[in-house]
Homo-oligomer: A and B are copies of this chain.
Amino acid sequence: MAIRIKDVAEKAGVSTATVSRVLNNDPKIAEKTKKKVLKAIHETGYRMNNVARSLKTSRTRTIGFLAPELVNDFFMTIAQGVEDELKDSGYSLIVCNSNESSHEEEKRIELLAEMCVDGVIIIPSSSRGEHYNRLKNMNIPAVLVDRLVDDFESDAVLVDNLQGAYKAMEYLINKDNSEFGFIGGDLSLSNFRERYEGFCLALEYNNIPKNPDYIKLGDCHIESGYKMMEELMNQPHPPAHIFIANYFMHVGATKYLTSHGYASKAGNQTAPVHIASFDDMTLSPILGFSDLTVSQPMKVMGREAARLLLERISGENEIEENRIVRLETNLVTH
């Protein structure tokens, strides 16, 4: 039905091998033949069948990107970074959704393996990583982004979460060292744990007592942020400053405050709470109650992940050890 290499060969009066060579930019081909073939390709409207090529070469020139959610600017900005880096490499990205479930994640990985992707970039959906080993068995290189997992070792791109949280806390403490609350995600996830450690360290260093009632752990979603903020504000004496370890929880917390009639900082300084949070997103500037965020270099994270992966795939310099790239965060004031 579709035009095959054979049709082009016949039209150009050459062999299929020659057409294939033209298609693959083989240098040792006569300029004249090349022209002839190119003309035939154009006239027939021939398009490569990548499935056939992949079967032969056992390379698909595709990379899988597995994120816990699609509707998530943080993950998708990282994906965009990956794409940017891949753009000129001839590789294309297959974006998949693990739906925040280890089980779904496992199924997706199987699928990507069956599709014979050349490599995979994963934003882990939990701290469980044992099922990633299927990739190792199949010799498919993987790079983790944002967090590490148990029972699986590979290249990874992370940010300095501890340092980021610490710096933000330092900023808050310098303004006013009263009580500090913390809203965060599951501490079994490496990134959240590190941010919590940064929070604690800053308090310790400044001799500020840590009040357990002020520590609220949820699940890094808007709804959870809302709930955690509610619990915090419903205390007899809520903390004046709150560090939120994740953008979406920050959004949820803001929703709570807004919908309960709290006045934001707009214009006055009588706001009931003062928030600093991890992640600087497009909407961060319009989140009231907050003028400080810890910005992660999302695109760079994606680019780095792609770079590490392409190096593994090309396999030029047999890399033995697992490489962990730690990127710096930036404080952003609004």
Interface residues of A (CB under 8 A from B): 1-2, 45, 47-52, 54-55, 60, 62, 70-73, 76-77, 79-80, 83, 92-97, 110-111, 113-116, 137-139, 222, 251, 254-255, 258-259, 261, 263-264, 266-267, 282-283, 285-287
Contacts and interface: CB of A to CB of B under 8 A. Distances in A.
Contacts of A95: 70, 94-96
Nearest to A334: B259
A92 B113 CA distance: 13
What 6 A-B pairs have minimum CB-CB distances, sorted nearest first? A95-B95, A70-B76, A50-B114, A71-B76, A51-B54, A51-B55
Given A94-B94, A283-B283, A286-B258, A47 B138 contact: yes
A254 B267 CA distance: 15
Q: How many copies does the complex hold?
A: 2
Contact of A286 (B71, B96, B251): B251
A255 B116 CA distance: 45
Contact of A266 (B49, B60, B261): B261
A1 B282 CA distance: 47
A263 B251 CA distance: 20
Nearest to A287: B286
23 contacts: A49-B55, A50-B114, A50-B116, A51-B55, A55-B55, A70-B76, A70-B77, A70-B80, A70-B83, A70-B95, A71-B73, A83-B97, A92-B96, A92-B111, A92-B115, A95-B95, A251-B283, A254-B286, A255-B286, A258-B286, A261-B267, A264-B266, A286-B286
Contact of A116 (B51, B93, B110, B116): B51
Which of A45, A114, A137, A267 has most B Cβ within 10 Å?
A: A114
Contacts of A261: 266-267
Given A263-B267, A264-B266, A286-B287, A47 B114 contact: yes
Contacts of A287: 286
Contact of A73 (B73, B79, B113, B259): B73
A254 B76 CA distance: 23
Nearest to A57: B51
Given A50-B115, A113-B47, A287-B286, A1 B92 contact: no
A1 to B, nearest CB: 7
A52 B55 CA distance: 6
Contacts of A110: 47
- Tell me which of A70, A251, A266, A283 has the highest count of chain B C-beta atoms within 10 A of its own C-beta: A70
B70 A79 contact: yes
Given A47-B114, A114-B47, A71 B60 contact: no
Contacts of A263: 266-267
Contacts of A71: 73, 76-77, 80
A132 to B, nearest CB: 15
Contacts of A114: 47-50
Given A1-B139, A263-B266, 8 more contacts: A47-B114, A50-B115, A51-B55, A71-B73, A71-B76, A251-B283, A254-B286, A283-B283
